[in-house]
Structure 1
Amino acid sequence: MEASSSTALYPQRRCKNIYLVRHAQGIHNVEGDKDHSAYKSPALVDAHITPLGWSQVDYLREHVTECGLAKKIELVIVSPLMRTMQTAVGVFGGESCTDGESASPLMVEGAGHSGRQAISSFNCPPFLAVEACRERLGVHPCDKRSSITKYRTLFPAIDFSLIENDEDVLWEPNVREAIDTVAARGMKFLDWLWTREENEIAIVTHSSFLDFTLNMYSKECHPTIAEDMRKRFANCELRSMVLVDRRSVLVLLQ
């Protein structure tokens, strides 16, 4: 009898667990839901999250703490935009800073119109800002980042060392990044992620970046799985996935 199976086994050491998070509700989401043309408003440049967004952050923080995920995360990668960094430090960061604490805060008090106390970097994973997981670039001012100089004052414990330019040289006012280009950028980002030594990684990013990237990966999946992967992320939604190097899988199967 010829052996066959519809399932697959991979050694855990050949996989990474990644936790994809879309940022909490931003002011641009509110205005865009009322009138889509509002996304082009200069008033929404580098949009920050809303009071409802902060409530979403608090809810997700409670969830990752109660389920034990917060203690497993080895690295938090974040898109360098206000709303994603606020979401990331609110969900995976430490508690409120205390008097006499020596560690740099992940977020200073009131950063980005938050009305929040400073968030501590004590006893939490490192945070790394990466431009490759930014939102679709161009035209919409909400997707244009501020200077790294400004961000370093607001988020002192986030590592911005991988970002080459202080000002945003990627966003263009009159050219919208093509969907295929975003997807290719996302897949290249995940290939880079595989080279990291950490095995439990949270990525706090954006809806279009997630939609276009996961749509490309879903093309190789069974239709039921593809449908699941193509579902649009809600604000502050977290999904767990396993990242596998297919080259290693081929070696294992030979």
Structure 2
Amino acid sequence: MAPVTIHCVRHAQGYHNLSVMNHAMHDPMLTQLGEEQCKALAANFPFMDRVDAVVASPMKRTVYTALHSFAPVIKDKRLKVLALPELQETSDLPCDTGSNVQDLESEFKGQPVDLSYMYTPPAKAWNTKLGKWSATASAVDDRARIAREWLYNRPEKEIVVVTHGGFLHYFTEDWMDKNKGNTLPRRHRHRRRSDAPPSPVIVNLERVRSKSESGPNPPSSRTGWANTEYRSYTFGHNPKSGRPVLVETQQSRARRTGNENPLSRSEQANLQRVESGQKAEEEKAYQKASGIQAKLQLKRKERDLGGYGYGV
């Protein structure tokens, strides 16, 4: 039987969130602000005592977000953070490329982290960004489907999933605010929100989260999820395929959108097609830029070695 509720959480602020240049960092850690965000979530997450399992992407920032944010229930119920490689981020940038399992074993030695899924045959290549682990839209879509089906078959009734902002759009199949509202159908913009004041819990969390977007070099976000934002879902089924899909609870939607109506499945599908096209173009541009950079590096090396065209 499927779990009753899935609480999806985006990781806290990592060093790669500070600037575009930091995207070159491999598997970056949480910043001090990120750790503060985790403490705020731990103090204010309203469903802590209901959680039966905590699952996370094996990236260091997501595992640490899970460990810090859900420390109370992990300790009280003697849980372990289950590392699921399908939950990794969507790009093949260094900041979105995970560490080898041996490094993860060393990093989380003595901590309540379960890396057993990392030793399955398919997961051994989880950080190569090749095949099923590639950064293509189709591969990410498949990983999101596999993760949903894996969760659907879990015995626990209330599960926390800590993952990444980009991946969460594929995982939840909700593309609203993917580019901060720029791609939304016009009729869904500027909706009147609920006049009810936000709860003190939400105000406190938003105050800490908002710091992620401040500073001299705020990153341009490609996700509608703030750091440590959580949304709650139940399982439904795709009317065509019958496969499990996530359906955001009414309480969760009201907490973040007020009276705004959700997009239909066809509208979400249209947004996903737009995003997939954009992702493909970005991948081509990135590969082209990488090729140019490689040629420049080769020329510099030839020059430094006194190679052809650079000798005396």
Question: TM-score surpassing 0.5?
Answer: yes
> With CA pairs under 8 Å and 6+ residues apart, which has the higher RCO, 1 or 2?
1
Answer yes or no: is 1:61 the counterpart of 2:17: no
Structure 2: how far apart are the matches of 1:193 and 1:94?
22
Structure 1: how far apart are the matches of 2:44 and 2:56?
19
Answer yes or no: is 1:186 the counterpart of 2:186: no
Answer yes or no: is 1:48 the counterpart of 2:6: no
Aligned match of 2:126: 170
Structure 2: how far apart are the matches of 1:188 and 1:143?
19
Structure with bigger gyration radius: 2
**In the TM superposition, what is the alpha-carbon distance from 1:169 to its structure 2 partner?**
2.6
Amino acid at match of 1:28: H
**In the TM superposition, what is the alpha-carbon distance from 1:81 to its structure 2 partner?**
0.8
Structure 1: how far apart are the matches of 2:125 and 2:224?
28
Answer yes or no: is 1:85 the counterpart of 2:73: no
Cα distance 1:236–1:73, how it changes in 2: closer, same or farther (>3 A)? same
In terms of fraction of residues, the more helix-rich structure is: 2
What do the CA deviations read for 1:57-82 (whole angstroms, capped 9, x no partner)? 11111112xx2x11100000011111
**In the TM superposition, what is the alpha-carbon distance from 1:215 to its structure 2 partner?**
3.2
What do the CA deviations read for 1:153-184 (whole angstroms, capped 9, x no partner)? 33232111111279963334799611232122
Structure 1: how far apart are the matches of 2:243 and 2:97?
38
What do the CA deviations read for 1:118-140 (whole angstroms, capped 9, x no partner)? xx8454433211101111142x1
Aligned match of 1:76: 54
Cα distance 1:135–1:29, how it changes in 2: closer, same or farther (>3 A)? same
Aligned match of 1:98: none
Q: What is the TM-score normalised by the length of structure 1?
A: 0.66
Say whether the 8 Å CA contact 1:93–1:124 is kept in structure 2: no
Give 1:131's match in structure 2, choosing from 76, 81, 85. 85
Amino acid at match of 1:170: W
Structure 2: how far apart are the matches of 1:196 and 1:213?
17
| Count, aligned residues | 194
What do the CA deviations read for 1:3-37 (whole angstroms, capped 9, x no partner)? xxxxxxxxxx76620000000010001022xx5xx
Q: What is the TM-score normalised by the length of structure 2?
A: 0.54
Answer yes or no: is 1:213 the counterpart of 2:191: no
Listed as ranges, the gaps of 5+ residues in structure 2 are: 177-186, 192-221, 245-312
Aligned match of 1:3: none
Q: Secondary structure at the match of 2:106?
A: helix
Give 1:232's match in structure 2, choosing from 205, 209, 224. 224
Structure 2: how far apart are the matches of 1:248 and 1:143?
28
Aligned match of 1:158: 113
Say whether the 8 Å CA contact 2:27–2:61 is kept in structure 1: yes
Cα distance 1:22–1:72, how it changes in 2: closer, same or farther (>3 A)? same
Say whether the 8 Å CA contact 2:48–2:72 is kept in structure 1: no
